[in-house]
A = this chain, B = another copy of it.
C-alpha cells in the first residue's frame, strides 16, 4: 500500500484570496493515478486555499480566553470544516471520473487531538476500505482537541501522513507538491541552488527560513519535521513534483523519478 499526499499548493490556488480549485492540475493528477493502475492507495490531500484562509482568520488552535472568542471560533470551526469538505468533494469527484474508487473519510468525524497532535483515531474503517479495494481519501481538517484552552485544532495533511504511516506501515510514502523536492538553498533566491537527492536531518538544509511559506500548518519546516520523525523510525518518504506532468504516474508505477528522499540518519 502507498500513502500518497497531494499538497494543497498543487490542487488549489494557494495564494488566492478565496477558496479556489486548480481543476487543470487536479484533473491531470487523477488521470495519472488512474493510468498508473495502482489502486492500493490511501490519498491524503492538503487544504490549500480552502482551509488556510478560514483557519487563519479564526485562529483555530490558538488559546481561547473569552466566551465571545469561543463562539467565534466555533463558527470558524464549522465554516472551515465545510470548506475543506468542499475541496474533498472536488477531489473525490475528479478521482471517480477516472474510475478510481475514492471514499471520503473526513478526519473531523473520527480523529481527536491532544494539544494539536492526533490522540485517538480509529483506523478500522480506513483499513476495511483498503481491504475491499477502495481508495480512502483523507485531508487536512479541523478536529476537536482535548486541551481545554484550545478545544479545537487543525490537523494538517502532513500530520495525517505521519500518523497513518506509523499505524499502517505503507510500502511507500509519496508526497506530491509543486516543487521538485528539497534544495540546499532557496531556489527562488539562489540561482545555484541544488536539488538534494536525500535528506537525513534538518542540518542538511541551510535555508529553512526561506522555506517557511505562509502556511498555518507550518510550511516546509513543518512538513520536514513530520517526515524526519518518520524517517527516524525507519519509514522513508519521497518528495516529488506532481505539478510536473508524468512524474506521479511514473512514481506510482514504481519508477525512480526526480525528487528528494527523506531517510534515516
- Residues of A at the B interface (CB closer than 8 Å) are 74-75, 77-79, 81-82, 85-86, 89, 92-93, 96, 99, 101-106, 108-110, 112, 122, 124-125, 128-129, 132-134, 144, 151
**How far in angstroms is the closest Cβ of chain B from A101?**
5
- Can you show 19 pairs from A to B with CB atoms below 8 A apart? A74-B101, A74-B132, A74-B134, A75-B99, A77-B103, A78-B92, A78-B96, A78-B103, A81-B104, A82-B102, A85-B85, A86-B89, A106-B106, A106-B109, A110-B122, A112-B128, A122-B122, A125-B144, A132-B151
**How far in angstroms is the closest Cβ of chain B from A96?**
6
The answer to whether B96 touches A104, judged by C-beta atoms less than 8 angstroms apart, is: no
The answer to whether A110 touches B112, judged by C-beta atoms less than 8 angstroms apart, is: no
The answer to whether A110 touches B110, judged by C-beta atoms less than 8 angstroms apart, is: yes
The answer to whether B106 touches A129, judged by C-beta atoms less than 8 angstroms apart, is: no
Q: Known contacts A125-B110, A144-B128; is A85 also within 8 Å of B78 by CB?
A: no
**How far in angstroms is the closest Cβ of chain B from A139?**
12
List the B side residues contacting A108 at CB < 8 Å: 103-105, 125
List the B side residues contacting A96 at CB < 8 Å: 78-79, 82
How far is it, in angstroms, between the C-alpha of A176 and the C-alpha of B51 when the chains are bound? 33
Add 8 more A-B contacts to A81-B103, A112-B124, A128-B144 (CB < 8 A).
Answer: A75-B101, A78-B103, A78-B134, A85-B85, A106-B106, A110-B110, A125-B144, A132-B151
How far is it, in angstroms, between the C-alpha of A133 and the C-alpha of B77 when the chains are bound? 12
Q: Known contacts A82-B89, A86-B89, A144-B129; is A104 also within 8 Å of B101 by CB?
A: no
